[in-house]
Structure 1
Amino acid sequence: MSVVIDGKSLTIDKVVEVARNKSDISVSSESWGKIISCREMLEEKIDKHETMYGITTGIGEFSEVTLDPDQTKEFQKLLIYSHAAGIGKPMDVEIVRGAMCGRINVHSKGHSGGRKEITEYLINALNQDLTPVVCEKGSVGACGDLSPMSQIALSLMGEGEMFVNGEIIDSKEALEKIGLEPLELEARDGLALINGSNVLTALAAITLYDAKKWMKLHDIAAAMTLEALMANMKPYDKRIHELRGFSGSQIIANNLNILTEDSEILFSGGKKVQDAYSMRSTPQVAGTLRDSINYAVSQVEIELNGVGDNPIFLTKEKDVLTGANFQGSPIALPMEMIGTGLSMVAVLSERRMNRLTNPALSVGLPPFLAEKPGLHSGMMLSQYTADALIAETRILSHPAANQSIPAAADQEDFVSMGLTTSQKTRQILDNCYGVLAIEMMAAAQALDMRKKGMGKGTSIAHRIIRESIDYLAEDRPLYRDHNNMVEILKSERIIDEIESELKIEL
């Protein structure tokens, strides 16, 4: 698959296609025309010695310092040097690739003023699988992700490092491998490469893509647990959810009914008039997260296709505007919501799992799902692991978007901390995979113990689990099973086979 960048149609799916699947990228001819026209206008203004922020002046607190014509080119190089000031281990390759893809789309809008060569270098690096090494810490989310984006620029200049075939090598050597000389920056080029929230937005896009998959897996795990607990299915009647009106709740209730259809376990008697909140509130609670993810996706896709830059060049009007379109807050706040929502639904998952293992709540299942309770401890300690993950997600759910610290002599006195928010939301999601994996393992164990026919969808999930993880007939170390279960979930095989066999989209 080749992804065409046109400044207006970039989606989170396309970002993942480039970032994770390493699809080739190209820019539409219309966008190339906009890039070239914008640069021509900028060069006219440079020739007229007009004052323009970050081109003929310094940046930040130095915006009132005027540069002479001989300094404008050198300034762009020094700008990258001074701003490549991060710290820590390298970011994942897919995050950096996603940021580069996003920056190309900003250029394609035709309002950034950089030469077409800087966009071409970004494209060549992506298509030849050269990924700049970027420290994971150092961005405060305004002016955009200056520090990490500067390491991307530095690598294109042949003065950083790049990942090539999984190894880190000098970026000059990496560029030579694809026949490129180090990029030489002209006026505006440096700032045009770095002045946007592209890293935090790329990470948000990738995280939301995965969170959408996690939501589907959540519904499958919930269906398995409800079935194993012989739930009263009246709370999932579509009429209840239609009357309230939230789409997420309606979708999840429908999924639970489809996945458990034809279950012998569910119709074997022993129903309560009302089950516990952790069971019957599943559509309302998890549906809130599903709706929130859709909102966050809409915000991220606005940002992906917006002009996240400063200054901004208006070719038709031959005007230059300075503003704050680099601020990461439009992404930071929705991602805070997603982190909190994921943490909330993970708690729901753990509470359902608790009902499977607690003999007072499990409707006849043995304590901790052990074959020989007392001699065997079963899944007792699996709950400890889920609880440890949840405790961490709660800590990570503490907001970063309101943690602004003034910088740059108070010229940059409010920052979004958007990259911190995206990073911790990613960590929360990783923990949530662990919690859900443990619930699904417990549910599979409980369904085996019921010894009756499972639902149309839950039986597919159970079969896939049992291909890799054996029934717990006696105690064994479970850490391998936990990690294996997470990998099964992340492979998306359970989702794919259920959707294919049942001809549905969860």
Structure 2
Amino acid sequence: MTITLKAKDLSTEEVVRVARHNEELQVASDCWQRIKRCRAMLEEKIHAKEIMYGVNTGIGEFSEIVLDDEQIKQFQKYLIYNHSAGIGEPFPVEFVRAAITTRINVHAHGHSGCRPDITETLIAFLNKGVTPVVCEKGSVAACGDLAPMSQVAMLLMGEGEAFYKGERLSAKEAMDKAGIPIPGLQARDGLSTINGSNFVAGISCLLLHDIENLMKHIDIAAAMSLEALMANMKPYDNRLHELRGFSGAVTCAENLRQVIAGSDLLDGKHKTRVQDAYSMRSTPQVVGAARDAIRYLHSQVSIEINGVGDNPIFLPESDTVLTGANFQGTPIALPLDMVAVAVNMVCVMAERRMNRLLNPALSSGLPAFLTKGAGMFSGMMLSQYTSDMLIVEQRILSHPASNQSIPAAADQEDFVSMGMNGVIKMRQILDNAYAIVGLELMAAAQALDFRDFKPGVGTAAAHSTIREVVDHLDVDRPLYPDHNNMKSLVQSNKIIEAVEKATGKSLRGSFTIGA
């Protein structure tokens, strides 16, 4: 299926489909008309020698230096050379594809001033599988993601490197093999390619998709632990959460009830506590707060990928050139930090429920550390150590990036968003979270093996899926293969699929109230 960009209604999931699943992309015909109209306006102004930032002036601290006609021809090339200043290993291919997708959607508005050839070439990169090699680090996400986007723009001159059909090649060789002409750079073309926070926005689309699946695993793991701990089920009544009104809590409680539906614990015949510990009964409130934070990030990213993140911006309808700071990454960087804290928060709660499963003083009759051979065997004691180490790393990584501005460019760029730091650390937080939640799921499955009541339909499906990759821990064995298998299982989303198939409906997500 081909995704058509119309400048205004690109979804985060469509970015994922292009970036991760290689769906083809095109731009609507009316967008091409806007792009051409804007370019014609720009060329008229160049001919009239009207001063325009980044077109016939330098950039940053050099914005007051006016370029002559010959310099204008060469400036875009040297701009891209100078800004290709990143460092580190290459970004994953899907991250680069996501960034290019969001940049094309900026061009589709018809306010960037580039030649249509530039946008056409970016589309060809996606549709023909040519992905620029881009260093992970170097962007402060304020004047746009200048360093990484410049490595994308290098290919527009036939320079740099690219991945093509699994090979790392010179840009020219990759483009020749894919049949993509080299458009070169003329006035404005380079800056119109790099001057937006498109890596931060594009990567955020992928992270949001994966965080949403993580949150569904959080709900499943919580439900399994609640059953294994013989929880009082009243705190998950939908009426309780609707009375308070937070949509995230309503969503979490509904997912918990969906997973637990059919459990013997719901018939009132099994003795439970009057009130459980906070890590149990406040799960909807805490996980719900995280979901609300995720929904806010999703809203901000959705606005960004459909907006005009560029500088300057050209308005053909009024023959106007506006300079400003629409490249500034803070609108995403700030909620990214909030979601980093939120994911860490729900991981802490997951570890606390796991602690209750392992601690015989708190587990409602489960054997110590979930082993029948306590003393001779240690059961899952060391699994908690692993979880705790990851939790501490999460806490370190949860320190905000968006308040870490360091001035650059002789103080012309004296406040920057550090949004790239935000997405890089969010990626690591998410990777750790897969493991932390996987360990709770593993402990909950082990605990349920010691219970003699019928679990919920969703709980049983999750338990069965876990047992496909991790056996019951009867006698001690090295646990690192089990830990790694559980992390991979969470990343695969097979538990979600099994629960949804068994219960007959999809688990609710965070992005849309009432979804």
TM-score, scaled relative to structure 1? 0.98
Moved more, 39-48 or 164-173: 164-173
SS in 2 for 1:352: helix
Show the counterpart of 2:196: 196
Q: Distance in 2 between matches of 1:497 and 1:374?
A: 36
Moved more, 156-165 or 460-469: 156-165
What is the CA deviation profile of residues 373-401 of structure 1, one whole-angstrom value per residue up to 9, with x for unaligned ones? 11111111110111111101100111110
SS in 1 for 2:434: helix
Q: Distance in 2 between matches of 1:112 and 1:496?
A: 43
SS in 1 for 2:26: strand
Show the counterpart of 1:104: 104
1:265 deviation in Å? 5.2
Show the counterpart of 1:471: 472
What is the CA deviation profile of residues 92-142 of structure 1, one whole-angstrom value per residue up to 9, with x for unaligned ones? 111110000000000001000000111111111111111111110000011
1:146 deviation in Å? 0.2
Q: Is the 8 A contact 1:228 1:265 kept in 2?
A: no
Q: Distance in 2 between matches of 1:462 and 1:268?
A: 23
Q: Which runs of 5+ in 2 are unaligned?
A: 508-515
Q: Distance in 2 between matches of 1:254 and 1:302?
A: 28
Q: CA RMSD in A?
A: 1.1
What is the CA deviation profile of residues 435-478 of structure 1, one whole-angstrom value per residue up to 9, with x for unaligned ones? 00000000001111113321011111111111121111111111
1:69 deviation in Å? 1.0
SS in 1 for 2:70: coil
1:165 deviation in Å? 2.3
SS in 2 for 1:7: coil
Structure 2 matches for 1:377-456, cutoff 5 A? 377-456=378-457
1:268 deviation in Å? 5.4
SS in 2 for 1:313: strand
Show the counterpart of 1:186: 186
1:497 deviation in Å? 2.8
Show the counterpart of 2:292: 291
What is the CA deviation profile of residues 309-352 of structure 1, one whole-angstrom value per residue up to 9, with x for unaligned ones? 00000011111000000000000011111000001110000000
Show the counterpart of 1:358: 359
Q: Distance in 1 between matches of 2:429 and 2:2?
A: 32
Q: Distance in 2 between matches of 1:478 and 1:162?
A: 40
Q: Is the 8 A contact 1:131 1:164 kept in 2?
A: yes
Show the counterpart of 2:240: 240
| Identity, % of aligned positions | 59
What is the CA deviation profile of residues 9-36 of structure 1, one whole-angstrom value per residue up to 9, with x for unaligned ones? 1111011001111111111111111111
Q: Write the letter of the residue equivalent to 1:229.
A: L
Q: Write the letter of the residue equivalent to 2:39.
A: R
Q: Distance in 2 between matches of 1:234 and 1:199?
A: 44
Structure 2 matches for 1:43-192, cutoff 5 A? 43-192=43-192
Show the counterpart of 1:272: 273
Q: Write the letter of the residue equivalent to 1:48.
A: A
Moved more, 366-375 or 434-443: 366-375
Q: Distance in 2 between matches of 1:408 and 1:196?
A: 17
Q: Distance in 2 between matches of 1:156 and 1:456?
A: 55
Moved more, 150-159 or 88-97: 150-159
Q: Is the 8 A contact 1:203 1:423 kept in 2?
A: no
Q: Distance in 1 between matches of 2:244 and 2:316?
A: 49
* 1:313 is aligned to 2:349: no
What is the CA deviation profile of residues 153-173 of structure 1, one whole-angstrom value per residue up to 9, with x for unaligned ones? 113322111112222111110
Q: Distance in 2 between matches of 1:441 and 1:97?
A: 35
* 1:342 is aligned to 2:329: no
SS in 2 for 1:468: coil
Q: Is the 8 A contact 1:196 1:326 kept in 2?
A: yes
Q: Is the 8 A contact 1:224 1:440 kept in 2?
A: yes
Show the counterpart of 1:18: 18
Cα pair distance change 1:253/1:430, threshold 3 Å: same
Q: Distance in 1 between matches of 2:173 and 2:308?
A: 33
Q: Write the letter of the residue equivalent to 2:344.
A: S
Q: Distance in 1 between matches of 2:193 and 2:293?
A: 31
Q: Write the letter of the residue equivalent to 1:289.
A: A
SS in 2 for 1:182: coil
